[in-house]
Amino acid sequence: MEDQAEQLRELMRAKNNNTQTTTPAKDKQSRKTRIITVASGKGGVGKTNVSVNMALAYARLGKKVIVMDADLGLANVNVMLNMIPKYNLYHVIRKQKTMKDILIDTEYGIQIVAGASGFSKIANLSEDERQNFINELYTLSNADIIIIDTSAGVSNNVLSFVAAADDAVIVTTPEPTAITDAYGIIKIIATEIDNLNMGLKLVVNRVKTVAEAKKVADRMINIAGQFLNLKVDYLGFIYDDPAVPQAVLRQKPFMVLDPKSKASLCVQHIVGRMEKTEIRQDGGLGNLIRRLFNRE
């Protein structure tokens, strides 16, 4: 396992060096792939909508974005975009396809990696499958941003993707059950992940007012600080907006169908805030791969 990680670090170093010799100095910073994992305690709080629409907001800023559907049980990014991919992560893991083969262009200027069905944990993969997946993930390092949409709740799989991210975006709604479960996942992240130094960020979805969102965020941030000694940043909120279910029904992102909607403006604001926060030094794709495959 260590050998694999070391091999990969070597690869990343080689790649970075390569990039530096061929890239003007001012572009170096933008060459790094920022990984944003979107997670929640409770299901159905808006992770997939946040992932896909954040991706679109990033694309509008000229970024090369990939949304990876890391729900290996029930894939749904492709459903939200009305795409029926022929191949998905299953085929990559089974070595039938490469990541490049399954990376799909969408009509919206972003690319997606469709999720697999039938796997519950990456940890269950054989050594051989793991190695293959590592090599394949590495090929995504051309992207500026990889947004990983996860399944609800805590599994080893989700924790791995959170541990690996530069930023973990926890989505909740103002419902007491969603807040409790969001606190639950934050607590597990705090206790299970060593050297947690990524930005943990909170998005409050489906709010009626700015004040309601602020109240939820303040509560969560205070509790996380007080009981877990964990810094959680309030990234922003998204209004409860009929434009969202309308877009879901039509299988198009609301950022495309209704770019002036309240929800779209909120997502743009969220991405604007993300852009103002620094990506940490040891983050990025190399870190994802190292940490992802060092977890049991």
Where does this chain bind ligand ATP (CB under 6 A)? 40, 43-49, 76, 152, 205-206, 238, 240-241, 244-245, 248, 263
Rounded to a whole number of angstroms, the minimum distance from the CB of residue 245 to ligand ATP is: 4
Judged by CB, which is closer to Mg ion: 80, or 163?
80
Rounded to a whole number of angstroms, the minimum distance from the CB of residue 121 to ligand ATP is: 17
Binding to Mg ion, residues 90-149 (CB under 5 A): none
Judged by CB, which is closer to Mg ion: 32, or 47?
47
Overall residue count recorded for the chain in this entry: 296
Rounded to a whole number of angstroms, the minimum distance from the CB of residue 25 to Mg ion is: 40
> How do beta strands 104-105 and 111-113 pair?
antiparallel
Rounded to a whole number of angstroms, the minimum distance from the CB of residue 214 to ligand ATP is: 16
Rounded to a whole number of angstroms, the minimum distance from the CB of residue 206 to Mg ion is: 14
- Strands laid side by side in the 34-39 sheet: 104-105, 111-113, 65-69, 145-149, 34-39, 167-172, 199-207, 232-239
From the list Mg ion, ligand ATP, none, pick the one residue 40 interacts with, judged by a Cβ distance below 5 to 8 Å according to partner type: ligand ATP
Interacting span for Mg ion (CB under 5 A) from 7-15, 70-78, 164-172, 229-237: 70-78
From the list ligand ATP, Mg ion, none, pick the one residue 178 interacts with, judged by a Cβ distance below 5 to 8 Å according to partner type: none
Judged by CB, which is closer to Mg ion: 48, or 268?
48
Contacts of 105 (CB under 8 A, 6+ apart): 111
From the list ligand ATP, Mg ion, none, pick the one residue 244 interacts with, judged by a Cβ distance below 5 to 8 Å according to partner type: ligand ATP
Judged by CB, which is closer to ligand ATP: 57, or 285?
57
Rounded to a whole number of angstroms, the minimum distance from the CB of residue 194 to ligand ATP is: 27
Is residue 48 near Mg ion by the rule CB under 5 A?
Answer: yes
Judged by CB, which is closer to Mg ion: 47, or 91?
47
Is residue 47 near Mg ion by the rule CB under 5 A?
Answer: yes
Residue nearest to Mg ion (CB): 48
Judged by CB, which is closer to Mg ion: 39, or 65?
39
